[in-house]
Amino acid sequence: MHGIGLQSILVVFFWAAAVATAPAQSLLLPPDYSPASIVNAASQRPGRFAPNTLVTVYGLNLASISWSVSEANLFLGAIPTALPGDRGFLRLNNIPMPLLFASPSQINFLIPPGFRPGARSLDITRDLVRGPLIPITLSAAAPELFRMPDSFAAATHPDGRIVNAENPARPGGIIVVYGTGFGPFLQQDFQGLSPTRPLEIQRAADFVVRIAGIPLPPNSIFYVGVTPHFAGLYQINLRVPPLEEPNPTIEVGIDGDFSLPGLRLAAINSATPTP
């Protein structure tokens, strides 16, 4: 398990999903969103929700301000469930959700780890104006990988450098890949929403990582679990296999339910000389 820089995760991996937003169109109009605009924050796919998953809602009139949670609150797991001045809430079955980012056209939030799979209803209230009630379903797991702006998978080297075209992964090397929605973990004996230590997912033995379409052998996967001090974030510590081609595809899944296809790992092939 390798500790990583919180700033790198915030700025590069998660907040990259936050887009430039326009001012609120009207404080008189209700928040406007739909089932298709509620997506997994890593893959941007709708319907990919599970306990301890980061989720993004896109729409209009979602908030009257632009706001983001502080790094200190995120690190401590003390994530607010309302915008400053109680000016906005996002609820599942009338329970306010922890908020990480809000703007007139986007809200990022966390489905807490204590939730159970099943049918839920989501609604957003802005300045006492309530939006539509949208049904969503939580699965036991909905694994998805975060991606960089260049559509490569979000990953780091053991020394914390981001895996990219300038610092690619190498066959035989160790990397850490990041995602959300990997499912329940072994223990939840911590306060707040951010685990303070590594916790492996309950079904780590069933977790599959495919690189270039080939599942990694179990002895090449060293850890699948939560990332300490970051709510909703999971990581996979793995050894890169031999590669015939550079930049192979990478997918993760459980019980045949895999992450967004087509995502690639920035990597050189086995024939490339090591400097």
DSSP alpha helices (H): ranges in the chain? 6-8, 71-76
Distance in angstroms (rounded) separating the CA atoms of residues 53 and 38: 12
- Could you tell me what percent of the chain has a pLDDT over 70? 87
- Could you tell me what percent of the chain has a pLDDT over 90? 70
Domains and CATH numbers, the chain: 18-138 (2.60.40), 144-258 (no CATH)
Give the pLDDT of residue 28. Answer: 78
b/e map of 60-78 (b: 16 or more CB within 10 Å)? bbbbbebbebeeebbbbbb
Amino acid at residue number 259 = S
* 60-64, 127-131, 147-151, 204-208: range with lowest mean pLDDT: 147-151
Q: pLDDT of 102-136, one tens digit each?
A: 999 999 999 999 899 999 999 999 988 999 999 99
pLDDT category at 261 given cuts 50, 70, 90 is very high
Check pLDDT > 80 for residue 268: yes
Q: pLDDT of 183-203, one tens digit each?
A: 998 876 656 687 888 999 999
The set of residues, in sequence order, having a beta carbon less than 8 Å from that of 171 and lying 6+ positions away, is 240, 241, 242, 243, 267, 268, 269, 270
Query: How many helices (H) and strands (E) in the chain?
Result: 2, 19
Contact between 143 and 252 (Cβ < 8 Å): yes
DSSP 17-54: GPPP-PPPS-TTSPPB--GGGEEETTT--BT---TTEE
DSSP 139-160: -S---EE-B-TTSBBPEE-TTS
Q: pLDDT of 27-47, one tens digit each?
A: 678 999 999 999 999 999 999
